[in-house]
A = this chain, B = another copy of it.
């Protein structure tokens, strides 16, 4: 007994990550109960993002300016390129504020199971970029998963002909991590990569 419009919106909302049919229904009713203060601003904000946000042709970041504000920032070191899987990971590193170079977004990871090969990823653009503007260091900040490691190996081979330093993030016990709760793989890695204090 819901109208077609509401059904349609619930159906679309339920396709958002983290929302299911029940939470989509609650979200739509929440929007309808706060039309002026929430629903209208949300639609306007979505329309503005749709109209203005583009993928940066340099690095793949999402921004309103092109190239993005990171690529066009003169204070950032173009010689250091941090390779990330997606924009979420780029934002996570920016929130941590640990890096003052530029990024390169792959748009995914190599995965034989999902049929994602090198041609599906933004890899050739990275190689071209390094050929044209030699970098000093490439940091492969990819997930510590099977797909992440496969991508690290592929990129390392692809880039070994260039005179650059290639690094990955360290593996080990996360800060605040209790040993008892860690998986065997992490414990073994942390043990083997132990450091002198």
Q: Name the CB-closest residue of B to A34.
A: B15
Which residues in B have their C-beta under 8 angstroms from that of A69? 1, 3
Given A25-B91, A26-B88: A9 touches B70 (CB 8 Å cut-off): no
- Is the pair A16, B32 in contact by a Cβ cutoff of 8 Å? no
Which of A58-66, A125-133, A142-150 interfaces with chain B? A58-66
Which residues in B have their C-beta under 8 angstroms from that of A62? 2-3, 6, 29, 32
- Is the pair B31, A1 in contact by a Cβ cutoff of 8 Å? no
- Is the pair A53, B86 in contact by a Cβ cutoff of 8 Å? no
Q: Does A17 contact B (CB under 8 A)?
A: yes
- Is the pair A12, B42 in contact by a Cβ cutoff of 8 Å? yes
- Is the pair B48, A5 in contact by a Cβ cutoff of 8 Å? yes
- Is the pair B41, A5 in contact by a Cβ cutoff of 8 Å? no
Q: Does A171 contact B (CB under 8 A)?
A: no
Question: A190–B17 Cα gap in the complex (Å)?
Answer: 39
Q: Does A162 contact B (CB under 8 A)?
A: no
Interface string of A6-18 (1 = CB under 8 A from B): 1011001101111
- Is the pair A50, B35 in contact by a Cβ cutoff of 8 Å? yes
Given A50-B39, A88-B25: A30 touches B5 (CB 8 Å cut-off): no
List 11 interface pairs A-B (beta carbons < 8 Å), by A numbering: A1-B69, A2-B62, A12-B38, A12-B45, A18-B18, A18-B26, A28-B49, A32-B62, A35-B50, A40-B50, A43-B43
